[in-house]
Amino acid sequence: MASIPQDAIEFPISDRVFLEPHLPPKDGSTRSPDKPFTTLTFATSLDSSLALSPGARTVLSGPQSKAMTHYLRSRHDGILVGVGTAVADNPGLNCRIVGVGGYGGSGDLEGQPRPVVIDPAARWDYSEESKLFQLCRQGRGRAPWIITARRDLPVEKQALLQKYGGRFISLDMSVEEVSEGGKEAGHHRINWNDLLVVLRSNGLRSVMVEGGGHVINTLLEPSSMPLIDRGVVVSPARRFDESGQPVSAARLANVKWYPFGEDVVLCGKVKV
């Protein structure tokens, strides 16, 4: 067996049982053949915050629920975050569970998910020193796919990605005009259905959406929420019907609370 890095995490078999009904089927089957099984998962504080302040890397999960996150990563082909998270956290987005590739598993990257970053303007200023690429060099993680609407992609950025086996994936996105500080600005808006179709056509049978706030809020909008297969903790914004009346926020069915170390984990099926 290959040597196991010091940051490897154990996730006992006894703790895996309650998650199994919420995980992508092991045979790779999906609800719809053209899209991956999609799990929305994130850690939130009791006051429904993802971080201490916008763009601050914040540890909310205790060690056991962090281990659960890494186990979830091992059971998905891809992990998706927005560029805000990539910039704020300099994340690894790999899986550190003992037994997966790079953590005592077979020599290759078996069990390591593909990081996917939504970066419409290709503004993420990654480098050789970014944690993701350090992990690639150590054989402990995969290089990211970056979903972008930008056409004139910087050559050096493309070269660095390709060196480690990552790439840009171009996707048409609509542009929404918004007023910011008295100025008009354009914001890209991804079509979640299109994105999931593209990920499936690139070989991902399952994807775990981790955040951050903008990603979660847009995925939980009524038009895209039905695309989610499973949720682990949901803390949505208020929703309103056409006449402006408040309607109930996203709800979970088959809910299970699971006390987990210092945390409580909530699992369920998103009700449409």
Ligand X SMILES: Nc1nc(O)c(N)c(N[C@@H]2O[C@H](COP(=O)(O)O)[C@@H](O)[C@H]2O)n1
Ligand Y SMILES: NC(=O)C1=CN([C@@H]2O[C@H](COP(=O)(O)OP(=O)(O)OC[C@H]3O[C@@H](n4cnc5c(N)ncnc54)[C@H](OP(=O)(O)O)[C@@H]3O)[C@@H](O)[C@H]2O)C=CC1
Binding positions for ligand X, rule: CB under 6 A: 43, 58-61, 66, 69, 81, 85, 89, 91-93, 210-211
Tell which one of 19, 23, 40, 50 touches ligand Y (CB under 6 A). Answer: 50
DSSP state of 126: -
Measured between alpha carbons, how far is residue 179 from residues 94, 116, 202 in Å? 37, 29, 36
Output the smallest distance, CB 166 to ligand Y, in A: 17
117 is in the binding site of which of ligand X, ligand Y, none (Cβ under 5 to 8 A by kind)? none
Nearer to ligand X, 256 or 271 (CB): 256
Chain Cα centroid distance, residue 26: 19
Output the smallest distance, CB 41 to ligand X, in A: 7
| Footprint of ligand Y on 192-211 (CB under 6 A) | 210-211
Query: Distance between CA atoms of 50 and 235, rounded to whole angstroms?
Result: 10
| Residue 188 interacting with ligand Y (CB under 6 A) | yes
Which structure tokens are listed for 53? 């302040």
* Burial status of residue 37 (CB atoms within 10 A of its CB: 0-12, 13-18, 19 or more): buried
Query: Distance between CA atoms of 38 and 46, rounded to whole angstroms?
Result: 25
92 is in the binding site of which of ligand X, ligand Y, none (Cβ under 5 to 8 A by kind)? ligand X
Q: Around Cβ 221, how many Cβ atoms within 10 Å?
A: 13
| Residue 144 interacting with ligand Y (CB under 6 A) | no
Output the smallest distance, CB 50 to ligand X, in A: 7
Name the nearest CA neighbour of 127 among 153, 90, 152, 94: 90
Tell which one of 16, 31, 123, 256 touches ligand Y (CB under 6 A). Answer: 123
| Residue 109 interacting with ligand Y (CB under 6 A) | no
3-state secondary structure of 120: coil
Query: Distance between CA atoms of 11 and 170, rounded to whole angstroms?
Result: 36
Nearer to ligand X, 57 or 189 (CB): 57
Query: Which residues of the shown chain bind ligand Y in the complex (CB under 6 A)?
Result: 42-43, 50-51, 54-58, 60, 81-85, 88-89, 118, 120-121, 123, 173, 187-190, 210-215, 218
